[in-house]
Amino acid sequence: MKLMEFNQCTDEAATKVLQSCAHMPSWIRALVQQRPYTTVEQLYEQAKQQAGDWQWIEVEQALAQHPRIGQKQAAAVLSEEEQQFSANEQRDVQTSQHMEQALLQANQDYEQQFGHIFLIRAAGRTGEDILSELQRRLNNTVIQEQQEVIQQLAEIAVLRLQQGVIA
């Protein structure tokens, strides 16, 4: 979608576009209400700034929209666009059977410790990179991990926005 179309479409249509980036109602509402944007850069900057206000309760709900690293399906039903984003983001996560098993075990350890899926911006990272980061984050406190999850979700949302949701 072009920026001009985004600026002129209905609130409902704009909401649907932004949901493919992140299921964060407050973020979506703020970005929709701040239209029109004069440049895509202004929109991207606003998206980053609004993500800085995310609260854990909303982030926790958004986690259901993301598949586990190494899995193709999220717990919730995703739109075709969201499925494509997820597939593209995990494209470089080429895994051997050994790596798949290590990621599965680390994901289980993480979920047992923190009570939610491990979330990371997978784009540009290998399976080894992700496993290393997952293992590092297992040493976080709950508060530290919540901050990292928020940061990662914000990076994913802005990256998806930049990858053509609105150009």
Mean pLDDT (the chain) is 86
pLDDT at 45 over 60: yes
Q: Report residue 82's pLDDT band, with 50, 70 and 90 as the boundaries.
A: low
pLDDT in tens, 105-133: 999 999 999 999 999 998 889 889 999 99
Structurally, how many domains does the chain consist of?
1
Q: Which of 130, 122, 128, 121 lies closest to 150, judged by CA?
A: 121
Q: Token pair of 109, please? A: 């350890």
CATH number at residue 60: 1.10.3330.10
Q: Give the up-direction half-sphere exposure of residue 51: CA atoms within 13 A in the CB hemisphere.
A: 25
Q: Is the dihedral of CA 42, 43, 44, 45 positive or negative?
A: positive
What's the confidence (pLDDT) of residue 88? Answer: 52
Percentage of the residues of the chain whose pLDDT score is greater than 90: 65
pLDDT at 50 over 70: yes
Q: Report residue 74's pLDDT band, with 50, 70 and 90 as the boundaries.
A: very low
Q: Report residue 68's pLDDT band, with 50, 70 and 90 as the boundaries.
A: confident
User: Where in the sequence is the domain holding 25, given as residue range(s)?
Assistant: 3-165
* Cα distance between residue 112 and residue 160, in whole Å: 29
Q: Is the dihedral of CA 26, 149, 108, 141 positive or negative?
A: negative
